[in-house]
Structure 1
Amino acid sequence: MKCDTKKWYWLNEPATWHLNDGKLQVVTDHKSDFWQTTWYDFQRHSGHVYGCEVEGDFTFQVCVEGDYTTLYDQAGLMLIQNEQHWLKAGIEFNDAQPMIGSVLTNPCSDWATGVFTGHAGRFWLRLTLANGALRLQYSCDGEHWPLLRLCPFSAASCNFIGIMCCTPEREGLAVTFSDMRISPPLGKALHDLS
């Protein structure tokens, strides 16, 4: 089912954004980011997230389009319980190329990243939260969904889920989000890539 964006709201609303016919276009503000302590010893909670509160288990899916050129340019999805418990995932520019990755914060941030074999300018993400576990998948074509991350995620009566974009080193990354869907959790087997 498509998302009812009338119930959605911003965490750190950017100066420039537009929602039309189910497509959200965003331009990032200067030095926006999410990170908690690890390695760099700073705390940031200034990135842009547009989402809604969801009770119980669910699956969220989105298509993301952007042109990542500067260190730490990033866009994807984000699941938040509070400033010390969240996950963000998507494309992030590092090591001179767009990489696929995720950051789980509980309460300090980790960072898992790898080479993205598809076209980073357009990709999909799918997050399923069910039975205290988080299953994160990505897709280059919207059809084939490899696993990106499987991890425990503590239960909460309500979570905030949505799209995310940040530019810790600049401003001006333009991102388009579409095909945003929230549904009951997909009951597919772990290695079912459909």
Structure 2
Amino acid sequence: MHETNTGLQELVRTGAWTTEPMRAEWGADGELLVEAREESDAWRETSYGFVHDSAHALLSPFGAREAVEVTFVLDYDQQFDQAGVMIRVDESTWIKAGVEVSDGAAQVGAVVTHGVSDWSVAPVPEWMGREVTVRASRDGGAVTIRARVDDEPWRLVRVAPLSPTADARAGLFCCAPTRAGLVVRFVAHRRGEVDAALH
């Protein structure tokens, strides 16, 4: 069993799904296998004009000064397949960050939503087939999002606003907007202290 899977077990025990996936079950090595429903997604309005609020996010309470990390295997490759961390206040206030396949390449990025969604990405094709960790550190009125593959240095992905008084929940998520059959292998979930500094 992965050494940090006690965190996954705790999330499964205490968390709740925003939208139930097709299935969520333990794998042979202690990983959590989550199969997404076709057309699952999280987006509000911007550019596309639609609202989708069907992401499979397993969330538990997230403090005003707390960090969350999710680790998963990047072994998916279809358009808009995605997995990572989600922080959610309500249907119109949330942040998702992770790796999404877009235009034929794996892209690390984030969607920040305050009424409408705002998306940013950067290509990371060299991350394919490896363990990706996404970290969101909430402190004051900001969430700092970082990501890395294996034990490489952290990359800063985004700094986003979130009210320090917001009643938020956080955890893992995945979506499959364009197809059936996406199964994401989540190998770790951790909670801990906030980042000491932005840089």
In the superposition, the TM-score normalised over structure 1's length comes to: 0.91
Question: What does residue 79 of structure 1 align with?
Answer: 87
**Aligned Cα root-mean-square deviation (Å):** 1.8
Give the helix-richer structure, 1 or 2.
2
Instruction: Assess if the C-alpha contact under 8 Å between 1:58 and 1:129 holds in 2.
Output: yes
Instruction: Assess if the C-alpha contact under 8 Å between 2:46 and 2:117 holds in 1.
Output: yes
Q: CA deviation at 1:58?
A: 0.4
Q: CA deviation at 1:169?
A: 0.7
Q: CA deviation at 1:117?
A: 5.3
43-52 vs 154-163, which deviates more?
Answer: 154-163
* Gaps in structure 1 of 5+ consecutive residues: none
- Provide the rounded CA distance (Å) in 1 between the counterparts of 2:17 and 2:177: 18
- Provide the rounded CA distance (Å) in 2 between the counterparts of 1:113 and 1:132: 23
Identity percentage over the alignment? 32
Question: What does residue 70 of structure 1 align with?
Answer: 78
Instruction: Assess if the C-alpha contact under 8 Å between 2:80 and 2:178 holds in 1.
Output: yes
How many pairs align? 190
Question: What does residue 22 of structure 2 align with?
Answer: 15
- Provide the rounded CA distance (Å) in 1 between the counterparts of 2:63 and 2:160: 19
122-131 vs 151-160, which deviates more?
Answer: 151-160
- Provide the rounded CA distance (Å) in 2 between the counterparts of 1:113 and 1:61: 19
* Gaps in structure 2 of 5+ consecutive residues: none
Q: CA deviation at 1:118?
A: 3.3
- Provide the rounded CA distance (Å) in 1 between the counterparts of 2:142 and 2:30: 29
In the superposition, the TM-score normalised over structure 2's length comes to: 0.88
- Provide the rounded CA distance (Å) in 2 between the counterparts of 1:143 and 1:71: 26
Moved over 4 A (4+): none
Question: What does residue 48 of structure 1 align with?
Answer: 56
Question: What does residue 195 of structure 2 align with?
Answer: 186
- Provide the rounded CA distance (Å) in 2 between the counterparts of 1:22 and 1:55: 27
41-50 vs 120-129, which deviates more?
Answer: 120-129
